[in-house]
Structure 1
Amino acid sequence: MTARYSFGGDEHVFVEVSEEMSLGAFFKSLSLCRALKESAIRGVTEICPANASLQVKFNPDVIAPDDLLAEIEALEAATATVDPTLQTRIVEIPVLYDDPWTRETLMRFRERHQYPSGTDLDYAARINGYSDAASFIAAHAGSPWFVSMVGFVAGLPFMYQMVERARQIEVPKYLRPRTDTPKLTVGHGGCFGCIYSVRGAGGYQMFGITPMPIYDPRQEIGYLKELMTFFRPGDIVKFKSVTREGYEEAVRDVEAGRFEPLIRPVTFDLRSFERDPVATNTDIEGVLHGH
């Protein structure tokens, strides 16, 4: 795949690796980001990776736009052979599906929804071919998710479901965005899952809520003291369905400073995943629980 380049104003170069999201496109984008960081091109001030693209911010008083473009194109040619392995981490995220807070919120905005007679879970189950919301929840939590981008609002992860394309959950966004979304809502729009890091407007379908903070601007939470945002591109997420009691216990642990997310280092191999996604996912989840 050949990247497409364009300028964004006077200080940005946008590099589109692919028009569609795939793990292959993400890996190429990640490789180019690494090459840019390692090359330390004078005048480059920020490199922002996305799902299948990246944006480079630069100081035009230090490097001319065309000169920077030539540098990036040379790096792309040099990284044509993408390393298919990634040293990353897998994290378990507890989720209370069909919780009372997102349910109350979604019912306030049914006039903006494609399926006003049911919940977001009901709608997602129906259009993805599942018999009911419970079956859909089992599928949502049944396979890991790959964090391909962090942003839009601080700390919000965009997650790509690690199953073959034909099995990926796809759900349109609301017909018109909501003016409210509970903090830490687990949502979905198009082919991407997300976790809303803060309360605010949104248009993704709402499936549940996690007790695990993923953004702490005050950096008071133990596992967020070094960096106020939890996720980074390349993280692998495994959702764990919990009961209301389990959710409330986790909330108490967070408030008391006792909560620690379950995180394990893992090696992800794109070639192995493309050959056998089920076996690769089983191996990755085994690492999470020490199997």
Structure 2
Amino acid sequence: MTSRFTFGADEHIFVEVSEEMSLEAFFKTLSMTNAIREAGIDGITEICPANASFQIKFDPDVIHPDDLMTRLQQIEETAAQADPVLNTRIIEIPVYYQDPWTHETLMRFRERHQDPEATDIEYAARINGYDSVQDFIAAHSGAPWFVSMVGFVSGLPFLYQMVDRDRQIQVPKYLRPRTDTPRLTVGYGGCFSCVYSVRGAGGYQMFGVTPMPIYDPTQRTSYLSDFMVFFKPGDIVKWKPVDRAEYDRCLSEVEANTYQPRIRDVQFSLDDFNRDIDGTNAKLMEALYAG
């Protein structure tokens, strides 16, 4: 997997690790951006990782673009030899699937959807071959997900399903984007799930909502006091289906500022995962719910 390096105007270098998303591409992107950050190269002002690529912003008055390009290509050679092991965390995120708020919203925008006669989750279940919405929810929430990047709007995570490629859920975005999406909507587009951190426009299919804030610029939320954005690339997420009563209970704790998400530190090996996907996922679940 050889990366493609290109200049972006006078202050950016864009590095495409792969043309398609995969955990291998994600790990290389993460390894390279971590190595660049640790190198402390004078002149680099920003490092922005994405699903299978990243972009570097730099000051050309501090470092010559050609010199920086050479340093990055040298780092790629070193990063390619690194063990694909990640010390990270696994997080449980409650989801109220088929909630009334996203349902009201999606019904307002049916003329922009591929199937105006079905809800988003009914459509997603059908085109992915599931017999029922409940079977689809079980598939969406049954295996963990990698946070491969954070962005588009502040705090919004893109999540990649940790299953065999032929079991991955795929759903197209709306034919035309909506002008409204409820805050904390759990959405889906292409092969990525996401959580809308703020209310606004969007084109991903809407499956439900979480009561758990993931972005707080005031940093008053207890678990966001250190940093306003909750997710970071490399996090592993387990969706937990909840009913209205459980959603309301979690929301009450959020409003009282006593809610604490379930989080456990874990070590993830890409080689172990590729050898035994379901076995690795089972161990991650054991770590999440141990103790």
One fold, TM greater than 0.5? yes
> Unpaired segments of 5 or more residues in structure 1?
none
SS at 2:158 equivalent: strand
The question of whether the paired residues in 2 share the 8 Å contact of 1:31 and 1:83 is answered with no
Match of 1:121 in 2: 121
Matched, 1:72 2:48: no
Paired letter, 2:111: E
Identity of aligned residues (%): 65
1:85 maps onto 2:91 in alignment: no
Report the aligned-residue RMSD. 0.8
Structure 2: unaligned runs, 5 residues or longer: none
Q: For residue 38 of structure 1, report the CA deviation from its aligned partner.
A: 1.4
Residue 201 (str. 1) matches residue 201 (str. 2) = yes
Q: Are positions 1:142 and 2:142 aligned together?
A: yes
Matching of residues 48-197 of structure 1 within 5 Å:
48-197=48-197
Asked if 2 retains the 8 angstrom alpha-carbon contact of 1:27 and 1:82, the reply is no
1:274 paired to 2:274: yes
Q: Using the TM superposition, give the Cα deviation of residue 78 of structure 1 relative to its aligned residue in structure 2, in angstroms.
A: 2.0
Asked if 1:26 corresponds to 2:22, the answer is no
1:180 aligned counterpart, secondary structure: coil
Letter aligned with residue 17 of structure 2? V
Question: Alpha-carbon deviations, 1:27-82, whole Å to 9, x = none?
Answer: 11111111111111110011111111111010011112111111101111122213
CA distance in 2, matches of 1:77, 1:28: 11
Query: Which ranges of 4 or more aligned residues in structure 1 deviate by more than 6 Å?
Result: none
Paired position in structure 1 for 2:260: 260
- Secondary structure in 2 aligned to 1:237? strand
> Deviation per CA, 1:158-215, whole angstroms, max 9, x where unpaired?
0000000000000000000000000000000000000000000000000000000000
SS at match of 1:111: helix
SS in 1 for 2:286: helix
Residue equivalent to 2:41: 41
Matches of 2:34 and 2:141, distance apart in 1: 31
* Equivalent-residue separation in structure 2 for 1:73 and 1:269 (angstroms): 25
**Maintained 8 Å contact 1:89/1:266:** yes
